[in-house]
Amino acid sequence: MKDGGWRLKVSAQIVNEDMKNCTGSSGEEAAARYLRRKGYRVVSRNYRCRLGEIDLIALKKGTLVFCEVKARNDKAFGEPFEAVSQYKQERLKKLAEMYLLENRSERGLNYRFDVISILFEGRGRIEELIHIENAF
């Protein structure tokens, strides 16, 4: 009986992780659509290097925008944008430096760091989307 209970616990943990990943990818997709509607051109999604990942990189009027997307299904742990800690901000700055080193054609552009905070309600509908330009 204990073994069966353990399996259920692991399965629930996997389901929770899948839901988290689904929320994250749904949030990134919603953020990309939002940016395109606002006149941005998304130049990279999920840029990865040894330091980590940048969710979205977009371009508008000669400014390269490094976007951190935070999506949640509720506010149990606060507003989604509150999860962008000082540590995460410093990490994103280093990731942006790596991106610019790898993409020399974009080095001369101005750049900034934005946060897009998304709160979903039932059935994946967006209840709230907050775009914080030049967040840090």
Query: Tokens 């929320």 map to which residue?
Result: 23
Residues 2-12: pLDDT tens digits?
Answer: 444 444 444 33
Please write the tens of the pLDDT for every residue from 29-44. Answer: 999 999 999 999 999 9
Q: Which two tokens stand for residue 90?
A: 């410093």
Question: In order of start, what are the domains of the chain with their CATH numbers?
Answer: 2-132 (3.40.1350.10)
Q: Are 30 and 70 in contact (CB under 8 A)?
A: no
Q: Can you tell me the distance from the alpha carbon of 42 to that of 33, in angstroms, rounded to the nearest whole number?
A: 9
Which residues have a Cβ under 8 Å from the Cβ of 112 and sit 6 or more positions away? 63, 64, 65, 66, 133, 134
Looking at the chain, how many residues does it have? 136
pLDDT digits (tens, 9 = 90+) for 72-114: 998 888 899 999 999 999 999 999 999 999 998 887 899 999 9
Phi-psi region for residue 107, left (φ > 0), alpha (ψ -120 to 50) or beta? alpha
Q: What angle do CA 103, 25, 73 make, to 5 degrees?
A: 135
Alpha carbons 92 and 54: distance in angstroms, whole number: 7
pLDDT band at 18 (very low <50, low <70, confident <90, very high): very low
